Structure 1
Amino acid sequence: MLSKKQTEQRNEILECLYLHGALSRAELSRMLGITPATMTEITGYLINDGLIKECGEELNDSGVGRKKILLEVSPHYSYYMGIELSEHKLIICLTDNLGECLPSETVVKEFDQDFRLSEDNIKRSVEAFLVKHADYQIKAIGIAVPGHYDSKKQKIVSNNPFWAEFQISQILSSFTLPVYVKNNVKCMALTELYLNGGKRQRNFLFLSLKRGIFAAYVYNGQIYGDTNYLVGEVGHVVVNPDGEQCECGKAGCLQTYAGMKWLIKKARYAYESGRSSYLNLLVDDASEITLSHLLLAYNMGDEIIHKIVEQAIDYLTLQINNLSMIVDVEVVYIHGKLFEERSIAEKLQSKLEQAPRIVQQEHHIEHFVLHYNSNKGAIGACTLAIYNHFIFNHTGENQ
């Protein structure tokens, strides 16, 4: 049995292995300031319990002498359920403790007249998923929500009136498993930090384009301003004071140019005014237009849709470059359904790379327009559960 101090060290060791990949005991001791004797004791405990494993040897820097035994987190040790809530659909997925998703087990439920977005329908869907996957002995549940989560009041804080009335507390209280709740974009950022499998960067922005636009900022391996609801609301940064009025009351917010809701709204205006040359071939009524129709019209060469998208790219580039001069970042990740059309993703990527540098510095900020993955929020919710339950042994929101 580990002492309280050893438990804290156990958590630090696991987090370090997630952040940096396979490491030797000596490297872990040096990075965490834990004595070699204590490191040997705690890693031995973790190996015996199956949480980590030895995964091979590495020569020291000189290439001679005693080889280092590397340690890594064991896959398939435990399983976690991730849920993303949105106004249009519910996505539930299952991953192991390293975030390996079981895609055949993912559930997507569209909300409509037959299946309404309600607390009871969500509870029933989650219960059915748990019953179906009982053999995996799921350890905890993560929930990625739009807007922000007030853990004291157990409420979703959002300018969308529906979520202000949504009783998420009913869902939290209905399960005996630990449940963790966080903003959906922050959940996605946790996945990039802990589970992306590549070069781990400690300072980065994760920008998501959905109904609105939100950015999670990870600084020194932690989500910055996690309790300040204004931090990350880049969709409400004014990029054109003479622009259209946003829902927030200001004029010319970024999301009025690049948010999915506003892109669709502009496409519908173009359809109704007769300015679109191809949308009328795709739908019979403006109300039927979705982002998929907008992307089809873009591919078909619709001139007005191209102008709408180009404007979105220009203002996104402007704002991302502005952010890079305000916060310390090494990488900026951009994710959204708009970039399902790769030519649009490539245009944004190109404009970001061509932006002039006002000062020369050793490190160059990298920009990645990610391939769109509709399950990314749900996988992020799994990461939230892994972070809290597997790495840090926190109790859940319902405990």
Structure 2
Amino acid sequence: MLKKTTKQLYIRGQILNELYLRGPISRVDIAHNTSITPATTTEVTAKLLAERLISNAPLSAAIKSQTGSGRKKILLTITNHHSHYIGMELSRSFLSFCLTTNTGEIIDTEYISQFPTSQYNIISSAFVTQQLLRFINKHKQLNVQAIGIALPGHFKSEEKSIASVSEWQHFDIASIIEAVPLPIYLENNVHCMSLYEHLMTNKNKGQNFIFFHAVHGIFSSSIYQEDLYGKRNFSVGEIGHTIIQPDGPLCECGRKGCLQTYVGGFHIIAKARRIFENNDNTFLRSLVSSSEEITFDTVLEAYHLGDIAMIRIIKEAMQAVSVTINNLTMLIDAPKIYLHGPIFNNDITSLLLEEYIHHKNLYGKSNEINFEIVPYHELNGARGAATLAIHHYLIWSHR
């Protein structure tokens, strides 16, 4: 078989991208959206049909998508179970795996929270290698095509290292790459989750959006003109260190009032622990016996009980988020914002955000901000990493 040229792979990628973003879709609409000639579109889709990577959509999909009389368009769609991909996320507190089909259907997952650590108090790279090889071998009958890894930072491809101001600088990612006998793609974990929303949910149809992620740290990823925005500039998206209040709490970066000091999980828990130690009247004392036992769930439970200090902490956090979101919408043309993190996994924050975001919106109802909360789960990063592998290996294989 003749090897495809870069141009042929690019055209193939354009067509597959259309099918992922806007499928089921007809050949006519693919040609119109991509400016590929109808003849070339027909030729390439015929090859994809022969590979069984795509298939004709059910007749019901064609009827539903068209109105009026006349001959119905034949719609094409991505075929599920054509191939399989593994995603893995590295985190301070866990290691997770996700095996998916080429359409994002989850086949298997694993979550590991107990692991050996290195001298920098993070997970051992040797342990990660061992577990990844084990997970690959567990599914060897599926002939996995590629692997994506979601990182707690950005990947520096030249040095094969994780770009971070933390202990992850010393993590031996190169040894993992060398040990695995499959193509590996590495990216910031939030960018991976953003790619999942872009390619696999079929909700945006290629529209721009912002993915706002708040766990221990805070990062914002954006899909702009159907690609990750600013992915080569590691400063883009580091909104955790934008200043919300110049006279606010001291941040680890050395400045005061960063968004992270209001919304970051470590900071919220640290504030709650100080209140536990210095206030005899807090509801926290009825929930835990020591400050070390306080988690984010403890803070929310105390909020529900009416703890005044916890109410203030949560409200300050949501006000900081609403200010940031309003600022982001004035910088990036994105009609949708996704919010992701444990702090958003409850009715409290969604109600507060609804109130604060629209109250602080510069143009009022004429430009209401459309936000959606993506339920936080420890496997979301691994699922996104599998999407990263699909994005690079299957769709845009020319890159």
Sort the TM-score into its range (normalised by shorter chain). Answer: over 0.9
Residue 48 (structure 1) aligns with: 50
Corresponding residue for residue 373 of structure 2: 369
8 A contact 2:10–2:398 mirrored in 1: no
- The one of 118, 121, 134 aligned to 2:140: 134
* 1:128-185 Cα deviation digits (max 9, x unpaired): 111212222211111001121111111111122x101111111111101001100001
Name the CA distance, whole Å, in 2 between partners of 1:269 and 1:276.
Answer: 13
Which residue matches 2:123?
117
TM-score for both structures, normalised by structure 2? 0.93
Write the mapping of 1:61-72 to structure 2, written as runs, cut at 5 A. 63-72=68-77
Which one of the candidate residues 233, 238, 242 is aligned to 1:228? 233
Tell me if structure 2 keeps the 8 A contact 1:214–1:234: yes
Determine helix, strand or coil for the equivalent of 1:284: coil
Q: 133-142 or 249-258, which moves further after superposition? A: 133-142
Deviation at 1:29, TM superposition (A): 1.2
State the one-letter code of the partner of 2:341.
G
Give the C-alpha shift of residue 283 in structure 1. 2.4
Instruction: Indicate conservation of the 8 Å contact 1:91/1:378, yes or no.
Output: yes
Post-superposition shift, 1:349? 3.2
- Structure 2: runs of 5+ lacking an equivalent: none
Tell me the distance in 1 between the aligned counterparts of 2:281 and 2:75: 60
Are 2:390 and 1:386 aligned?
Answer: yes
Corresponding residue of 1:150:
156
Match of 1:12 among 14, 23, 33: 14
How do residues 1-399 of structure 1 correspond to structure 2 at under 5 angstroms? 1=2, 3-4=4-5, 5-57=7-59, 58=62, 63-102=68-107, 105-111=108-114, 117-160=123-166, 162-274=167-279, 277-358=282-363, 364-393=368-397
Q: Could you tell me which amino acid in structure 1 is paired with residue 222 of structure 2?
A: Y
1:274: Cα distance to partner?
Answer: 2.0
Determine the C-alpha separation between the residues in 2 that align with 1:206 and 1:106.
23
Identical-pair percentage: 37
| Distance in 1 (alpha carbons) for counterparts of 2:117 and 2:67 | 67
CA distance in 2, matches of 1:339, 1:88: 19
User: Take 1:54 and 1:308, find their aligned partners in 2: how far apart are those partners?
Assistant: 53
What letter corresponds to residue 8 of structure 1 in structure 2? Y
Change (3 A) 1:168 1:275: farther
- If the length of structure 1 is used for normalisation, what is the TM-score? 0.93
Quick check: 1:275–1:304 contact (8 Å CA) kept in 2?
no
Instruction: Tell me: CA distance 1:67–1:354, structure 2 relative to 1, closer, same or farther (3 Å).
Output: same
Q: Do the aligned partners of 2:358 and 2:364 also contact (CA within 8 Å) in 1?
A: no
What residue identity is the alignment partner of 2:247? D
Structure 2 residue identity aligned to 1:299: H
How many residues are paired up?
A: 391
- Counterpart of 1:330, as a letter, is P
- The code of the aligned residue for 1:66 comes to R
Range that drifts further, 343-352 or 10-19: 343-352
Q: CA deviation at 1:112?
A: 5.2
